[in-house]
Amino acid sequence: MPLFEVETTSHIMIASADDEATARSFAQSNYPAEEIIRVAHRPRDAWVISKNLLGVNSDVDVCSTARECLASAAGDKLHAVRLYMQKTGVDLEQARKVVESNMSRGW
């Protein structure tokens, strides 16, 4: 089943769906108050996130830390980014990238 990247006003999701309409339906059912900004078909059946492109090269376990922040923030991306910045000392852009990449994996 193909993967679709669905971006809303507050989230980026990766959905396994038969077609674009199903991916849109998935986003609308899970985040009904958010506007869908774009839907893109992923060219392969895998979603790969480069740690180097995200600027992640420290000894911090990024996934665990970002997921802890997302859980503490109850899925609120902005709050999770702030928490991640406080815990790791990274800048806003790097924190945003790490949190969003972990959101796409399904924390």
27-34 contacts at long range (C-beta below 8 A, 24 or more positions apart): 34/8, 34/9, 34/10
Distance CA 85, CA 42 (A): 30
- Digit-coded pLDDT (tens) for 33-91: 999 988 988 877 666 666 666 666 655 556 788 888 988 988 788 999 999 999 999 99
Q: What local confidence, expressed as pLDDT, does residue 81 receive?
A: 94
